[in-house]
Amino acid sequence: MRHALERGGVAVVVIPPEIWLTQASSAVKPNAILATESIIRPGDDDLARAAEVLGDAGAVTILAGAGCQGAHDEVAALAEMLKAPVVHALRGKEFIEYDNPYDVGMTGLLGFESGYRALEHCDALLTLGTDFPYRPFYPEHAKVVQVDVRGEHIGRRVPVDVALVGTVKDTIVALMRHLQSHRDAEHLERMTTHYRRTRRRLDELARARGDGPAIHPQVLIAAIDKAAADDAVFLADVGTPTLWAARYLSMNGRRRLLGSFNHGSMANALPQAIGVQAAQPGRQVIALSGDGGLSMLLGELLTLRQQHLPVKVVVFNNASLAFVELEMKADGFVTFGTDLDNPSFAELGRAVGLHGVRIDRLSELSDGLRTGLEHPGAALIEVMTERQELSRPPHITVSQAKGFTLWATRSVLSGRGDEVLEVARSNLRELALK
């Protein structure tokens, strides 16, 4: 059955194939994929240096990204030990925001004020699994400790005082052994209070009011959040659908929020939704599509029918390339070339065999969403939304303020004063909450 041959002083054990196959069938099948568990963390000297930087700082803030997947509890425990508010990047939202009393929101162009302030007022910044690219949103004078399993990404965006190469989970577990838990909580309490105030203002903007001819996008996304399944997968088109999803969709550890968050590719929501639905046929998949994005890939509606994929496509129909208009206003340009002369997307959906719903007024929103999301097959839910809704960034620069003023002046002088008035009308609620 088994014998050894001496070859060059090395013992070679030979097992006949029939014996090996018999034994393998009771243990591990040939070509089976074996699950492994690797621990990747920095050395103790580097961890001690990081602990010294964090320990000496009066105020520590954590910036958490997609690399925190699977490390939710460890991040929360570290925030408690450091008394550090947790700011999340867009791709970290689904992994960090939920069940986290230390979360203070998002920063960056799509974020809001509390996240920006938490970074602005820290003495030490600990970045966890993020390659957050927006240099103006980093603190000016804070020391930076960066954790990333991809060593080549460390220091790409901001100078780093201590580099820690490792997974977020393994590194936190090892780092906490070097930290002292006795810290002043003033910074944490101030930033979480700021977040609660900011969150109340954002939620107030999402409250349904009146029954006008167009629906505020905040109201729409809040209604989708309420009506969607607990394990829904949301795919957001680049532009305003991503912005409103980042601010208003609530994560719970089971939901997913995906998009073209690295590359910013337009029209990504529907094709991504097709892939997710094909891979997980029993799960609710919701594409948050802009009217410009859906128009680019209308043919994919035929794919939904051909493949019998029950994707729910919610179309934010504001008859414009809305995010481009926002950028033009901020730069002082009179908006041009951004109008969209849309068909009825709901009728298009019905024409290709999908369940089509068009929602024109706020009074139709609840029932329209419910019937669309509960339909057993593919559904296209077209919602007429406010075109001139502004999304105020967490920090308005002098150049942005000048640009917006220049846009308003140029628009009036070129006979487009009605657009300026429409912007004011659409955003009266936000102005009243300042």
> 105-151, pLDDT tens digit by residue?
999 888 889 999 999 999 999 999 999 998 989 999 999 999 999 99
**Can you give the pLDDT at residue 88?**
97
Mean local confidence (pLDDT), 302-311: 98
pLDDT exceeds 60 at position 185: yes
Choose among 383, 365, 390, 387: nearest CA to 318. Answer: 387
N-terminal to C-terminal alpha carbon distance within the chain: 84
**Can you give the pLDDT at residue 17?**
45
120 φ/ψ angles, rounded to the nearest 5 degrees: -65, -35
- Residue 409: pLDDT band (50, 70, 90) is low
Mean residue pLDDT across the chain: 87
Lowest mean pLDDT among 123-132, 198-207, 362-371: 198-207
With left for phi above 0 and alpha for psi between -120 and 50, is residue 298 left, alpha or beta? Answer: alpha
Mean local confidence (pLDDT), 367-393: 90
Q: Are 154 and 165 in contact (CB under 8 A)?
A: yes
- Residue 388: pLDDT band (50, 70, 90) is confident
pLDDT exceeds 50 at position 269: yes
pLDDT exceeds 90 at position 225: yes
Choose among 352, 348, 356: nearest CA to 380. Answer: 356
289/5 Cα distance (integer angstroms): 67
Mean local confidence (pLDDT), 246-256: 96
The helix/strand count (H/E) of the chain reads as: 18, 14
Q: Are 242 and 259 in contact (CB under 8 A)?
A: yes
Q: Are 362 and 342 in contact (CB under 8 A)?
A: no
Give the side-chain half-sphere CA count within 13 A for 248.
Answer: 29
pLDDT exceeds 90 at position 28: no
Ordered by where they begin, the domains of the chain are 44-197 (3.40.50.1220), 210-326+335-389 (3.40.50.970)
CA distances from 365 to 229, 360, 361 (A): 17, 8, 7
Decide: helix, strand or coil at residue 4.
strand
**Can you give the pLDDT at residue 378?**
98
> 12-25, pLDDT tens digit by residue?
344 444 443 444 44
Mean local confidence (pLDDT), 79-98: 97
Decide: helix, strand or coil at residue 127.
strand
- Residue 324: pLDDT band (50, 70, 90) is confident
418/204 Cα distance (integer angstroms): 27
Q: What percent of the chain has pLDDT over 70?
A: 82
pLDDT exceeds 80 at position 386: yes
